[in-house]
Homo-oligomer: A and B are copies of this chain.
Amino acid sequence: MAVAKPQSTRRSRPQERPLTLTPAARRILDVAGDLFYTRGINTVGMELVAERAEVTKKTIYDRFGSKQRLVVEYLRERDARWRAHLTGHVERADDSPRARVAATYDALDTWMGQENQRGCAMVNAYAELSDPDHPGRAVAEEQKRWLRDLYTGLAARTGAEDPRELADALAMLHEGAVVARNVTGVADAARIARSAADALVTARMAPTDQA
């Protein structure tokens, strides 16, 4: 065991040095990403990361400077991977708002099948990093804002009266599906969310656009 303290209050961030991703650093980040996601950020010590990456702690600190930084890089990378996954699905879909909304839930479905066995990494990190100044929180917030904006754009194209509100509802189905699958064990959560989203779009669509 061992675990505690109010989380380093690194106030007034000292501007980020750019990070050189040497081979060892690459290994460290991979290992840390896996461990942080599956076991939780706070329960994984640097010693363990070092051991798994076959690297000394010294090397980790030479490359990343602090655990906080390593955590932030883990979140950033995961966020980027998720965005790429989602936008890939969306762009391959038909260019209709309805099809594209559906595509977001398909993306979620495949994502959850592969690398999301422990819920949303951003939401988990948000739960674990209780210090409001931890820069990892900003990464999570940004991802959620991004998804919301994506939905807002699509919602606007449906002709909905209040695109923002529709977008928020679609985002809720999205996040809720992750919880349903992860905690409640609903295997086809993404499919259900997709179907509900479609019904919602229909209900909110401008009447003239109904087809």
- Give the secondary structure class of A's interface: helix
Counting chain A residues whose Cβ lies within 8 A of the other chain, the interface size class is 35 or more
In the complex, identify which listed stretch (A38-46, A55-63, A77-85, A90-98) lies at the interface while the others stay far away: A38-46
Q: Knowing A42-B42, A42-B43, A141-B183 touch, does A203 contact B199 (C-beta < 8 A)?
A: yes
Number of copies of this chain in the oligomer? 2
Q: Contact string, A88-129, partner B, CB cutoff 8 A, digits 1/0?
A: 000000000000000000000000000000110011101110
Neighbouring B residues of A179 by C-beta, 8 Å: 123, 144, 172, 175-176, 179
A165 interface residue, CB < 8 Å from B? yes
28 A–B pairs (Cβ distance < 8 Å), ordered by A: A1-B8, A2-B2, A2-B4, A3-B42, A3-B43, A3-B45, A4-B42, A4-B44, A4-B45, A6-B43, A7-B43, A40-B127, A40-B130, A127-B127, A127-B128, A140-B183, A141-B183, A144-B183, A148-B184, A168-B186, A168-B189, A168-B192, A169-B196, A174-B176, A176-B179, A199-B203, A199-B204, A202-B203
